[in-house]
Amino acid sequence: MRPPARRPSLLSARRWRSVPEGARLGIDWGKARIGVAACNAGVSFAYPVETVPAGPGEMQRLAAIVAEYEPEVVYVGLPLTLAGERSFAAQFVVEKAAQLARVITATPVRLVDERMSTASASRSLGDAGRRAKQQRRVIDQAAAVEILQRALDAEGRTGHPVGESVELEAE
């Protein structure tokens, strides 16, 4: 005999209503390279997309990736100190995230804690048999996957987009 189907409660229906249902992107912003990860609509599994060289043309390439994937939200990793404070690197990322938000105005950009994401990604790549020298080409993508996966997991737990919204300043 089949157990009766459970109907979602009003509470659980409300909980999930605020989580974006579409694709999402994750970004690990570095001074030399920018790792990009994605997850498809209706899926809570992040995967690597590409590594974008930092510098001239980075915003155009990221805008093209956003146009291709049409995400509901872009999560950018914010490198906080282990004590949870903003460092010089964090200020750099905040400025870059604000620039990106001005370029992709139709897509929300959110800053999420990325502490230990690169270390975790490096450990995962090492466990998969990649030496440090082999990791260099893909570590930024792997860190972006880690950032996005953490955001997706937190969305699933809380029922809301996570992190701090990057607001466009009125000009």
Q: Two tokens at 45? A: 């599994």
Assigned domain for 123 exists: yes
- What is the value of pTM for the model shown? 0.78
Q: Which CATH number goes with the domain that contains 150? A: 3.30.420.140
Assigned domain for 13 exists: no
Assigned domain for 28 exists: yes
Assigned domain for 168 exists: no
Q: Which of 57-66, 72-81, 123-132, 142-151 has maximum average pLDDT?
A: 57-66
The 10s digit of each residue's pLDDT in 78-114 is 988 767 778 878 899 999 999 999 999 899 999 998 7
Helix residue spans in 18-166 (DSSP H)? 58-69, 88-103, 117-127, 132-135, 139-158
The Cα 53–Cα 61 span in angstroms is 9
The Cα 51–Cα 27 span in angstroms is 10
Domain membership of residue 83 as a residue range: 21-163
Assigned domain for 3 exists: no
Q: Two tokens at 122? A: 């490096």
Assigned domain for 86 exists: yes
Q: What is the pLDDT of residue 142?
A: 86
Assigned domain for 4 exists: no
Assigned domain for 88 exists: yes
Give the chain's domain count: 1
| Mean pLDDT value across the chain | 79
Does residue 49 register a pLDDT over 70? Answer: yes
Q: Give the residue among 59, 52, 56 at the shortest CA–CA distance from 33.
A: 52
24 and 42 Cβ atoms separated by less than 8 Å: no
Q: What is the pLDDT of residue 43?
A: 81
Q: What is the pLDDT of residue 168?
A: 74
